[in-house]
Amino acid sequence: MINSVEERSLAERLQPRMAMEEQFARTGKKFRKSFLSRHERILVRPWLKFGLQIAGLYPRGLRNAISPVVRELRFSFTDLPPAFDGFQILQLADLHIDRMDGLTEALLPVIDGLRPDVCVLTGDYRFEDEGPCDEVYTRMRPIVSTVSAKYGIFGILGNHDVSEIAFALEDMGVRMLVNEAVEITQRHASIWLAGIDDPFGYECDDLPGTLSSVPSAAFKVLLAHTPELYCDASARNVQLYMCGHTHAGQIRFPGIGSIRNNARCPRAYAYGHWSHREMQGYTSAGVGCSSLPIRFNCPPELVLIELRRKRSSQTSDC
């Protein structure tokens, strides 16, 4: 059973983001837009693509980008309600689906073989951070309709998204969490799923407000687009922090990893499983790509996390 204490409409919850969209349109500037990021399309992408083509690697990068894998993980918690032992969460992060030719078709049979308890989408559905969204909707519909999750699909927005995407995804059946939390109840026990608006590009996140309706002792799963709020989330007794945004670099080198993390957080928090004090987190490498639709040593991933109740003498499975 899903219980929501939020009484405001989606349009009301999106007001801060829509105000920022109007400001960005008026000023032509966005948060965290450096000279390099503003000119990436004309400075970085062409040279990177040219270099990979000269080396004969570009076609391989394209194939890698539409070869998704399922990352199955098991996280253990001492305070997980017994009724949720074995509860599975499927995460799809950073789809950037409108420019990822062939990715939807590659994802459908993979998703169809999974039966999670809940599915979460952690933002960035559009490839660029500007322009039309029509192709996003065309490619997201079959993905959403293929997901079979007992308690449904929940989503948040990322820094590439605009507010209209939230309305479109809700029309498809995704429950968009915009600085709010919902309670999932089974067998007289519950956990809370909280989702915040993008803290990276729009800076419309409100973690205190999001958790204000959640009992302090409740088991909390937080959906955030980036890992950057790890400190505040831990201080507010979040047990599991799920995010993406970094793409794990898309290109990873043996022994080094990625060159660019694109997040203000410790490098260890930019990809994979991590912990901060009592909180565990996972930063997904994402499903799609940005800048160029290529990947090397960093496959696109669907993350399937199984929650397990840990006895006090038991060590974590991760």
Pairwise CA distance, residues 174 & 160, whole Å: 18
**Is 302 part of any domain?**
yes
The reply to whether 290 falls in a domain is yes
pTM: 0.93
**Could you tell me the residue range of the domain that residue 193 belongs to?**
31-309
Q: Is residue 199 part of a domain?
A: yes
Taking every pair of Cα atoms in the chain, the longest distance, rounded to a whole number of angstroms, is 61
What is the pLDDT, as a whole number, of residue 313? 56
| Strand, helix or coil for residue 108 | helix
Determine, yes or no, domain membership for 57: yes
Whether 126 is covered by a domain: the verdict is yes
Provide the pLDDT for residue 101: 96
pLDDT of residue 113: 96
The pLDDT of residue 189 is: 96
Task: Round the CA-based radius of gyration of the chain to a whole number and report it.
Answer: 19
Which secondary structure element, helix H or strand E, spans residue 43, and what is its range? helix 40-43
Q: What is the domain count for the chain?
A: 1
Whether residue 10 lies inside any domain: the answer is no
Could you tell me if residue 16 is inside a domain?
no
CATH number at residue 78: 3.60.21.10
| Contact assessment for residue 295 and residue 253, using Cβ atoms and an 8 Å cutoff | no
| Residue 314, in any domain of the structure | no
Q: What are phi and psi of 23, to 5 degrees?
A: -65, -45
Instruction: Specify the pLDDT at position 316.
Output: 47
Q: What is the rounded distance in angstroms from the CA atom of residue 116 to the CA atom of residue 315?
A: 24
Residue 178 contacts by C-beta under 8 Å, 6 or more apart in sequence? Answer: 10, 13, 14, 17, 156, 157, 166, 195, 197
Nearest of 217, 220, 226 to residue 238 by alpha carbon = 220
Q: What is the full per-residue pLDDT of the chain (318 aa) written as tens digits? A: 887 766 789 999 999 999 999 999 898 777 766 545 556 777 778 888 989 999 999 999 999 999 999 999 999 999 999 999 999 999 999 999 999 999 999 999 999 999 999 999 999 999 998 899 999 999 999 999 999 999 999 999 999 999 999 999 999 999 999 999 999 999 999 999 999 999 998 999 999 999 999 999 999 999 999 999 999 999 999 999 999 999 999 999 998 889 888 889 999 999 999 999 999 999 999 999 999 999 999 999 999 999 999 876 554 454
